Amino acid sequence: MKVLTKIPDVRGLLDPARAQGKSIGVMGKYRVAQCYTGAVGAEIVRRLADHPLLELVGVLVHHPEKVGKDSGELVGAAPNGVLTTGKLEDIVALKPDAVVWSGLLNDLDAYVKLLEAGINVYTGIGCYYLPQSPEEPRLTAAALKGGASITAGGNIPGLIADALPLFLTGYTGRIRQFRMWQRNDMSSGPSAAQIQSLGVGYYPGEWEYAEAMNTGFTWTIGQSARMVADGLGIAWEDVRLERFEQALAPEDYVLPASGLEVREGMVAGVRWTFVARADGGQDFYRLVNEQSTRLDHGDDWRKTYDEPAWRVEIDGDPPIVCTFGWPEGTPPGKACHELNAARAMNIVPRLIEARPGGVSVLDFPAATASDGLFAPD
């Protein structure tokens, strides 16, 4: 049973001009559409069923067999009366206040169509920080035309790559370097397609998108590094992929949550190391992104689930170490998807009231949980 102690109301907190006369739905809530129902999108649909501030009004799906279904039943929850559609035009016609984009592709054409229609966009892929990005002029023009905003987030880029390091800088100074690690366990992740999108489950050299993934990942981490640099008021220079590593499966096995079969010799874990420079060539930012499906990939890979999934070190005065993870016994894959779903929902109210254009955590107050207080299980 839920005990709601408050309904956060950020209307007018950020941009009073946008807040004046804003309608937030017949239930007194912001109207939200969810695009796609993978692990994160499905969690958002489930959580919106009783959200005090957000009302689900539309759901976009990819597969034809999912079209026309009750979206609550589709994600294993109670019926909610919101039928799915396979057409983005149907979502636009609903005129929601915001869309949460949980697709696997950074679809600029879709973002432009939504923004021009006056629909705010939160995406979990791409558009993490637009200044100096090649897509900025197009997206900014669309956002200004529709009077809407776009932002992005997640666990990486997002939490470990920019939001958490920036927050921690408020407690130190004379910073010389940031060092961040993500050690993500994929074995309990429910989506085989998402795991394979990182190159896992292929033999070395077999995955045709490997180069594109490395290039795209380097670019998005560069957006996070530029955000951190701008937050500190220092000149960002560039980002590079310093190292890319693969751990191979020692035997055949199946990931139980997703059903993905990994055969001996296939890629079972991947790890990227990124370095960004600023202020005259100084390596001020180093980030390691490790994605594993086992605990025996190698001596310097994650060995136990007791090790935190995320770690930030700031070489400053004072030096800071911050770790972030799950309590013992928490399925890490499920928890990571829940983290991304919660982040999207908590940012949406801030996003709706933010200035038009591309925005980031540098532009609005830190998001807090937006669904009140629940009674203990």
For 213-225, write each residue's pLDDT tens digit: 999 999 999 999 9
All structural domains of the chain with their residue ranges? 16-152+353-358, 159-328
Distance CA(266)–CA(204), nearest Å, equals: 7
Distance CA(290)–CA(183), nearest Å, equals: 5
Cα dihedral 64, 100, 196, 190 in deg (nearest 10): -80
Mean residue pLDDT of the chain comes to 91
pLDDT tens, position by position, 198-247 = 999 999 999 999 999 999 999 999 999 999 999 999 999 999 999 999 99
Which is nearest to 189 in space by CA: 59, 90, 20, 331? 331
Structure tokens at 337: 């998807």
Give the per-residue pLDDT at 2. Answer: 42
User: Beta partners for 326?
Assistant: none
**What single-letter DSSP state applies at residue 355?**
P
pLDDT of 20 above 80: no
Judge contact between 139 and 358, C-beta under 8 A.
yes
Give the per-residue pLDDT at 27. Answer: 61
* CA angle in degrees (0–180, nearest 5) for 182-377-153: 30
Q: What is the mean pLDDT of residues 48-67?
A: 96
Q: Could you give the C-alpha distances from 68 to 81, 84, 86, 108, in angstroms and in order?
A: 11, 5, 8, 26
Task: Give the range among 122-126, 139-143, 233-237, 364-368 with minimum mean pLDDT.
Answer: 364-368
Give the per-residue pLDDT at 205. Answer: 93
Q: What is the mean pLDDT of residues 345-361?
A: 96
Task: Give the range among 108-112, 143-147, 266-270, 302-306 with minimum mean pLDDT.
Answer: 302-306
Q: What is the mean pLDDT of residues 39-57?
A: 96
- Kindly indicate the confidence band of residue 1, based on its pLDDT and cuts at 50, 70 and 90: very low
Distance CA(137)–CA(123), nearest Å, equals: 18
Give the per-residue pLDDT at 25. Answer: 54
Identify the CATH assignment for 16-152+353-358 out of 3.30.565.10, 3.40.50.720, 1.10.340.30, 3.30.365.10.
3.40.50.720
1-9: which pairs have CB atoms within 8 A and are 24 or more residues apart?
Answer: 1/375, 2/50, 2/372, 2/374, 2/375, 3/372, 3/373, 3/374, 3/375, 4/52, 4/372, 4/373, 5/372, 5/373, 6/372, 6/373, 7/52, 7/53, 7/372, 8/53, 8/349, 8/368, 8/370, 9/53
* CA angle in degrees (0–180, nearest 5) for 115-116-122: 5
Give the per-residue pLDDT at 194. Answer: 85
**What single-letter DSSP state applies at residue 374?**
B
Distance CA(22)–CA(265), nearest Å, equals: 57
The residue count of the chain comes to 377
Q: What is the mean pLDDT of residues 160-170?
A: 97
% of residues, the chain, pLDDT over 90: 80
> Between 22 and 98, where is the model more confident?
98
pLDDT of 308 above 70: yes
Which is nearest to 158 in space by CA: 353, 336, 370, 352? 336
Q: What is the mean pLDDT of residues 318-334?
A: 92
